[in-house]
Structure 1
């Protein structure tokens, strides 16, 4: 996923970036050498926590991929694609995919979901 770095700062030896993408704006931990403001890296996203239904993942009526943030929390609206086992799935955010761990599968096949996280990580792929 291509993003543009809007802001960076360091907190307890961790680089945190605010970024823009075609799906909206987000905030995440940066893994690797700190980027510069204005950089436009290609990144992979990872949510470093197990998602639990009705806690940090819920069905979403909006059916448009979107990423937003408020304070240090990122919200992602994306298509949920279930995997074959009960613990893993994929979020499709526009053209990007995010592998996720889910505590248990939702009893109904959900299409779009809203994920709320403070543990979004970005990994540059073009370094």
Structure 2
């Protein structure tokens, strides 16, 4: 999946990135070389939780600006 990096947070727990895709926006823990803001990366995502509409998947009428 191609993602565009919108924000990078580096802290004691690692690196968290906010990103957008053609499907929407989200954030995730980043593993690997520090990504660059505004760059597009071809990534593989692992989702360890069950995804449930209305619980941890929500529809937004407006785009999130990060």
TM-score in same-fold range (> 0.5)? yes
Partner of 1:37: 37
2:6 is the alignment partner of 1:24: no
Larger Rg: 1
Change (3 A) 1:23 1:15: same
CA–CA separation in structure 2 for the residues paired with 1:34 and 1:13 = 14
Which one of 49, 54, 57 corresponds to residue 75 of structure 1? 57
For the residues of structure 2 that align with 1:19 and 1:6, how far apart are their CA atoms?
A: 5
The structure with the largest strand share of the pair is 1
Alignment partner, residue 4 of structure 1:
4
In structure 1, runs of 5+ residues without a counterpart are: 52-56, 61-73, 78-127
User: TM-score normalized by structure 1?
Assistant: 0.40
Instruction: Look up the SS of the partner of 1:44 in the other structure.
Output: coil
The alignment's C-alpha RMSD in Å is 2.1
Secondary structure in structure 1 of the residue aligned to 2:17: strand
